Amino acid sequence: MPVLSSRIGLLALCAAAIACSPQEQEGLKRMRSIGPRLAPTQVDDGYSFDGPTFETRLTQRGVQVAELSWQSSLTLGSPVATDDRVEYRGADGSVEWYEATEQGLEQGFTLATRPEGDLTLLGTVDGISGAVTIPGGFSFGSVTYTGLEAWDAADRALPAEMIWDDAQRTVSLFIPTDALESAELPLTVNPLFATGEP
């Protein structure tokens, strides 16, 4: 099963508005509205979003949300801020971005290429003792990861599954091969992280 590894923080995965084709911008209509956006602040090694209930740090090393640290290898470039968004750009044209509101951090992906076989977005979690299954996803201490959705450029929903591997301490966002065969690029994968008691 091919694996696309990626940094994922408090998030909603969807198409980026910057440097997107018209097809990519189609995915934006599915983007969830979670309130007014917070502006990122530049820090020594990247950017931070500071909300009333959480602090988030985005650097080349990964993403830190409250006590949760997320690290992976899809995006190796340094983060870049554009208005109220922080972006990482992959060599294959995929874009990973973050926006924040008072409720949490939204993450977006535009996946510009189709994998051979299943699609698996993989992230490694540190800084917490483990995951607890809750309705729609997982809780990592004060951070929840729920609400997974996925769709293609034609706004067609794709079946997606969120999987926790306790031994490897990884979360996978999984879409099966048969669902990808007729999907129009780019693909959007969209979970949400928030802080507070599950």
Instruction: Check pLDDT > 50 for residue 13.
Output: no
Instruction: Check pLDDT > 70 for residue 7.
Output: no
Q: Kindly report whether the global pTM for this prediction surpasses the value 0.85.
A: no
Tell me: the pLDDT tens digits for 165-183? Answer: 999 999 999 999 999 999 9
What's the domain range around 90?
4-195
Q: Band of the pLDDT at 137, cuts 50, 70, 90?
A: very high
**Average pLDDT of 95-112?**
80
Does 102 or 56 have the greater pLDDT score? 56
**Average pLDDT of 146-158?**
93
Domains in the chain: how many in total? 1
- SS3 of the chain: CCCEECCCCCCCCCCCCCCCCHHHHHHHHHCCCCCCCECCEEECCEEEEECCCCEEEEECCEEEECCEEEECCCCCCCCEEECCEEEEECCCCCEEEEEEECCEEEEEEEECCCCCCCEEEEEEEECCCCCEEECCEEEECCEEEEEEEEECCCCCECCCEEEEECCCCEEEEEECHHHHCCCCCCEEEEEEEEECCC
